[in-house]
Amino acid sequence: MTQHLNRRGFLRGGLALGCSAAAFPLISHATFAAAPFDHRLIVVILRGAMDGLDVIRPVGDRNFRQLRPELGQGEGPALDNFWQLHPGLSGLMPLWQAGELGFVQAVSTPYRDQRSHFDGQDMLEAGTAMDSPPEFRRDGWMNRLLAGLPGARSETAFAVGREALPILSGPAPAQRWAPETEMRVSPQARRLLEQLYEADPPFHSAAGTALELTEMLNDLEPMDPAGESEAMMAPPPMMGLPEPEKANAEVSAFAAFAAARLREDTRIVALSLAGWDTHAGQDNAIRRPLARLEQLILELKAGLGPVWNKTAFIAMTEFGRTVRQNGTKGTDHGTGGAMITAGGAIRGGRVLGQWPGLGDSDLYAGRDLTPTGDVRAVAAWVIHGLMGIDKGALQNGVFPGLDMGTNPGIV
């Protein structure tokens, strides 16, 4: 059992280093307290700027088709007499009908005019305004949310996948994992590694968490040596040909891992789906990211089982895209966009948001959908309803300077 105790030592050192030892008392697996709330929050960053107007189409607006004569060729299911869903998400219609899927149109972060993916995503994940003080810009808003949750610990929040997720980064401990990771180390080597990393806090912390997670996963599904060696020989996904399959497998792994964690102690999950930057040939280019989004939502629902009823899922993107199609049957970086909500804990079946219209004088800078709501306010009201966090903490601590406005009643 020295191995076991050793792991504890590793973990303790790792967490102590999060420079928030006071707020997050040292913990071990055995002393994990119950999470402070029972609901689940999943936030998905749609990287690349999803074209909200193509995904939730305002077909009832008489200007819409004229502005985009060659986009959105295939008809999708009608949500009501104004809105139509992109056919690539038609698999979600049962959720819409059950009130477990909703949308918010014409929303954006406070980010304006520069239209850079990277800055747009930074602001989306930092949850800040253009004039927020720099100390807020460094950390993700979900990390500040976590820091304010009494009794939160690293296991409470998970970033899933290999990509960086600044939305969860910051001093409050959160975990991050790609479901397929392995670490094969003998007990003696483990002891030596622990001593080796002792004087180097970032290494010590990372290794401690890695050890904890590999062991959790081993508990989840017993290791299969044959399968392992086969996996080592398989061609790497990116080098292979059928990319859609790769996307499917990756999304499945994300969904399965996230659902497994959320069925246990984890309450908050962040992940990202890329591929929305449809500058050219949008009708074709948007299909794959939509398929991945649909698959993610459906597999999370299936994997969560009864926990789905306590779950709110929010998908957000850095900004919308130009209202008019561009010269390459695509759209360029814009401003107002859309959000997608799902889960048994939300009141769906509605497209929320104040519609600004698409007439020339309605547009932002003569080119973009005018934002009439703030992405952060939507997230804040969901969190308020889900976790009971008060408005003051949300408007000052999590999203500095945000005015939440009136409650849209999503949760």
Partner 1 sequence: MATPKAIIAHRFGFGPRDGKLPLYPPASRLDKPDRMLKTFAAQGSADAFAWLVEIRKISDAAAGGDNAARKQRQAALAEASRRALVNARLELARAVQSDDSYRERLVRFWADHFTVVARRTLQRPLMTPFADDVARGHLAGSFAGMLRAATTHPVMLGYLDQTGSVGPQSQFGQRRKRGLNENLARELLELHTLGIEGGYTQTDVRQAALLLTGLSANDTDGTVYLPNRAEPGAETILGKSYGGNRKARIDDIYQFLDDLAVHPATARHMAWKLAVHFVSDTPDPALVADLAAIWRRTDGNLLAVSTALTEHPAAQKPDQEKARQPFDYIVAALRALGTSGAQIMDWKDPVLRRTALRPMTAMGQTWQQPNGPDGWEEAFDRWITPQALATRIDWAMQMPRRLRDKLPDARKFVDLALGDLADDQLIRLVGRAETNVEGVGLVLASPQFNRR
Which residues here bind partner 1, judged by CB under 8 A?
Answer: 47-48, 113-119, 162-164, 169, 175-178, 180-186, 188-189, 192-193, 195-197, 199-200, 202-203, 206-211, 213-214, 232-233, 235-241, 243, 274, 277, 279-280, 326-328, 330, 332-333, 365
Measured from the CB atom, the residue of 236 and 392 that comes closer to partner 1 is 236
Phi, psi for 165 (deg, rounded to 5): -125, 85
The nearest distance, CB 384 to partner 1, in angstroms, is 30
The nearest distance, CB 55 to partner 1, in angstroms, is 20
Measured from the CB atom, the residue of 73 and 328 that comes closer to partner 1 is 328
Measured from the CB atom, the residue of 60 and 118 that comes closer to partner 1 is 118
Say if CB 339 and CB 315 are below 8 A apart. Answer: yes
Measured from the CB atom, the residue of 185 and 256 that comes closer to partner 1 is 185
**Beta strands, E only, 47-129:** 56-57, 84-85, 101-108
* Rounded distance between C-alpha atoms, residue 156 and residue 203, angstroms: 22
Say if CB 312 and CB 39 are below 8 A apart. Answer: yes
Residue 403 DSSP code: -
Measured from the CB atom, the residue of 28 and 326 that comes closer to partner 1 is 326
Geometric angle at alpha carbon 172, from 388 and 9, rounded to 5°: 125
Measured from the CB atom, the residue of 30 and 232 that comes closer to partner 1 is 232
At 370, which amino acid appears?
A: T
The nearest distance, CB 140 to partner 1, in angstroms, is 13
The stretches of 33-113 forming alpha helices (DSSP H) are 52-55, 64-67, 93-97
* Rounded distance between C-alpha atoms, residue 204 and residue 211, angstroms: 11
Phi, psi for 149 (deg, rounded to 5): -85, 120
Say if CB 124 and CB 375 are below 8 A apart. Answer: yes
The nearest distance, CB 281 to partner 1, in angstroms, is 9
The nearest distance, CB 217 to partner 1, in angstroms, is 11
How many other C-beta atoms can be found within 10 angstroms of the C-beta atom of residue 60?
Answer: 13
The nearest distance, CB 171 to partner 1, in angstroms, is 12
The nearest distance, CB 258 to partner 1, in angstroms, is 15
Tell me which residue of 370, 341, 366, 339 sits closest to 354, measured CA to CA. Answer: 370
* Rounded distance between C-alpha atoms, residue 333 and residue 45, angstroms: 16
The nearest distance, CB 308 to partner 1, in angstroms, is 27
The nearest distance, CB 14 to partner 1, in angstroms, is 9
Geometric angle at alpha carbon 143, from 142 and 149, rounded to 5°: 90
DSSP string, 217-235: HHHHS---HHHHHHHHHSP
Tell me which residue of 36, 41, 35, 84 sits closest to 410, measured CA to CA. Answer: 41
The nearest distance, CB 187 to partner 1, in angstroms, is 9
Measured from the CB atom, the residue of 105 and 205 that comes closer to partner 1 is 205
Measured from the CB atom, the residue of 39 and 153 that comes closer to partner 1 is 153
Residue 237 DSSP code: G
Residue 396 DSSP code: I
Measured from the CB atom, the residue of 274 and 302 that comes closer to partner 1 is 274
Q: Most distant CA pair in the chain: distance in Å?
A: 71
Say if CB 107 and CB 336 are below 8 A apart. Answer: yes
Measured from the CB atom, the residue of 38 and 182 that comes closer to partner 1 is 182
